[in-house]
Amino acid sequence: MTFAEFFYSFWWLIFPIFGMAMAFQGAGQSEKRQRRTLDLIRSYVEQGKEPPPELLKLAQKSDDDWGMGGVGGGGGQNSSAWTFVVFAALAAGFGTGYWFVRAEDFAFAFLIVAVTMGVLALGALGILIFGRK
């Protein structure tokens, strides 16, 4: 197998590998941010001073508070709303695809994906309605 044949067969692996690399980079940056904040708080305590309340709030932030969670790119309510919209749109698209090819042998694949995306959309809607405020 030549490199050209290998690349032709597995070109799509570029995307998950890139996604994993970005996730590792984000995790490293989050850890570095937390470590710097804790070092700064430690220096205040060693000097016998009270750390500023803003610095203590910064140390308590999670990754979602920094805007690193969800499909919409931001954390919180807006992210859950975008997650619902994306899954609902995918369910509608694959449902429409199923409708147009329902007589074909492969139509069940569209139906399976449409139902899965619909269930995920309902889950995202539940989180949006009943999730933490």
pLDDT tens digits along 3-35: 999 888 988 889 999 999 999 998 888 889 889
Same domain, 50 and 104: no
* Strand, helix or coil for residue 50: coil
| Cα-based angle 38, 40, 42 (whole degrees, multiple of 5) | 70
Rounded Cα distance, 112 and 60, in Å: 41
How far is the C-alpha of 43 from the C-alpha of 71, rounded, in Å? 37
Q: Mean pLDDT of all residues in the chain?
A: 85
| Same domain, residue pair 88 and 46 | no
Over range 47-51, report the average pLDDT.
89
User: Residue 118's Cα: distance from chain center in Å?
Assistant: 18
* Domain closes at, from 61, 87, 107: 61
What pLDDT does residue 130 have? 87
Sign of the CA dihedral 88, 93, 96, 102?
negative
Q: How far apart are CA 77 and CA 70, in angstroms?
A: 10
pLDDT at 62: 63
Residues of the domain holding 99: 70-133
For position 55, what pLDDT does the model report?
84
- Whether residues 29 and 52 fall in one domain: yes
7 and 55 share a domain? Answer: yes
Residues 57, 74 within the same domain: no
Residue 32 CB coordination number (10 Å): 10
